[in-house]
Structure 1
């Protein structure tokens, strides 16, 4: 669709009657005419407007038309404006030659030929409009090119994201297979050994004093598989926004104590111990099952990477909120990895050396904390342990709203 281009014309003459006559000749729609009775006034107009054409009288008091043209040619803003000189002097003065030297595109003698003036003005107005239209098209093409470049970058980013998703899926399936195979292999070997004993009528391994340890080993492997499956189910619920919370009043200090006691044997097996500092009750309205999951994930994480050192668990609260921190003295986390380990399936190179896992625990932990309107922070450095601090409001926000937030 053609654009409407306004073409401004500048006429300069020290005689008002000449200006009126010239304007009457060249006035047209979308072609406003600006008058100046001196070179100085013309310069002011040139600073404020973009002109398609300037028609200058040569003989003016003060700065004449030639001098004005030279000033126009010396300024970037006005250098490309076409100039037509008008003069009442005789042809023998050779003003036309001087005018062309000053950069004029044409020279007219008075009295003016109306048809010639209109024709010449129309030529330069058309050139100006074509030039503006071309500039508009070039700008449009440049904008289209920028949009295409943006689209290409978006497509590349989408491709990278898809490739990453495929890699994550493959890695995930590989990790799940590996993680589930470990407890399954252990159970399978246990059953094979027991079957061998039974085939030889060797009942000694099944003596009453040995059965509790046997059952405990089986339960531990089954619990490992259940934990993996639960983690995968929780991630699926979070992605779909279906993970909800059911807040009720309970004591965070008491819950932390229960979790510490339940993991005491696991800590002993890892050569570590929990040091709980929860001197006062901290009551709040949270989902007890989910907060227990948060504490369990953090303590289990500390046991994995704590290097068999004591683990400090602290619970505090006031009228503004509640805080739970877990400090270990293990391998620590490098600054560049501290944000990444809260994402799905993300683990550091050091963590892979120390323990197996899907890389879901901290992701699930952060999502649960955010469902409660809280945040989790990490302070750590390589070789200096880590401190995970959970901050919770005393009452979890509306569960329906949380379901939406967690999926975003």
Structure 2
């Protein structure tokens, strides 16, 4: 069988490399280009069946390219799939389908979904090619009708009576031609009432003389259902019908739907796994960090302080890894939100350098911050995500540098579209990266080499999440490096200057020094013994009386018998969880006591579920005592 020819069109070479890797198989011949004009030459010179086309390209975009193919008889049959990173809104999908595309693939591409869709499209293209070839043979060689594999018949349009039918009807449907003569073709239909053929005969839409193409189901031998594609033409008061067996194509379509359903099932399983993983890890991690906070308030010698500091650092590293995994998942699912706000870039840079200075001092490295004087004081950007990116890059640089320096640099490179072009770069004098291994560093869970992974450790997630976040901010993370001569990671963002005073970050205050809430009483519903103990200790330090229960049922009984100023409730508990308890409190008891949800997951679905169940606010584990103190103050002051 001749290889199916596929065109890949994307203005980024790295995307073409990725698609080639996904679609590498023996029965496919791939043509790839970054130029739309070159792509038009390729489709004209080669019999292309399927085209995967990027939507956003300079010059001629994907929509214009698709319209060009559709307007030419030689290329109009090419199956076009748009590959895009733009919004999944209906208007974009409708625009793409109107230009001739039959499907969309969304970046970042899932290899399994991409491969499954392309496999189904290849099969569909082959099936359609067979149909076109057979139809051309019938048009050009009327003499071979008798030997045609398709059913060819003539029918009286008013009654549906079959006047003639070729021998293929016996192969396709199992009926002899003689048995069908003078019977109605309607009697062979599986569902006459909803049949497209029945509708055409009743409405007499065939009289236009144009060839009509439709699909319908017919009874075969032993009442088996067979899908046929019908070509109808009305001439001399007779309908000429060409009926082609499309069971294989329909099977391919069913396989495509099955693959899509399996992909959706896998997505739901992934979400469930992430939610459970988050809960199972964050719950004990909250206990570890909380016990560390409690230990800080006790008398410790220098050795114990050092051990405690290492304990909290290790906990923080574990939490960062967990957050990176969840962030990657949310980005891949299109559920990650970028929230721009007025941000002081100098404060971000200074905060990162100050935070990482102790690591630099441990390795006797110089860590420097350089910000151009022309960089605006305040810009609109998601400061939290920008901080996360730069912190990852600086941490990586320190990790792979044994002597010399790490520099964080923010430069003004002019303006574009009325916005500042700001370049963020992290330079180091570390081990560097070989040209052959540069491609590995941005892959999920990948590092430059196995040797690097074994020697320096790490998950390989930092650069992956940084690359994805930079893309969401509108930039592209790049690297310049030479083995043994250090590395430079950099990206450029278009940012708007804003004249707004930045709220200074509040100074850290130990939890036992935070303002008290004398005379207040809070019900704690928490089934984890350590987390329950931590909450009691925190609240006791703030002069709050507490009662601890282990599940939602016990919480309901307490609320029915005792008045509380507030409830701090875990979401996942045995017998009755926090969501059920909150709904019962609001709907059955009718209490408006403020309820703060404590959850060991940070997935948006669970946060939304907490609010819908009647809880007033949420706090994700592990949390800082100051965060809990702030939430309590806000909720109790709303009374």
Q: Whose RCO is larger (CA < 8 A, sep 6+)?
A: 1
The structure carrying a bigger helix percent of its residues is: 1
Give the TM-score normalised by structure 1: 0.48
Q: Over alpha carbons, which structure has the higher Rg?
A: 1
Give the TM-score normalised by structure 2: 0.32
The structure carrying a bigger strand percent of its residues is: 2
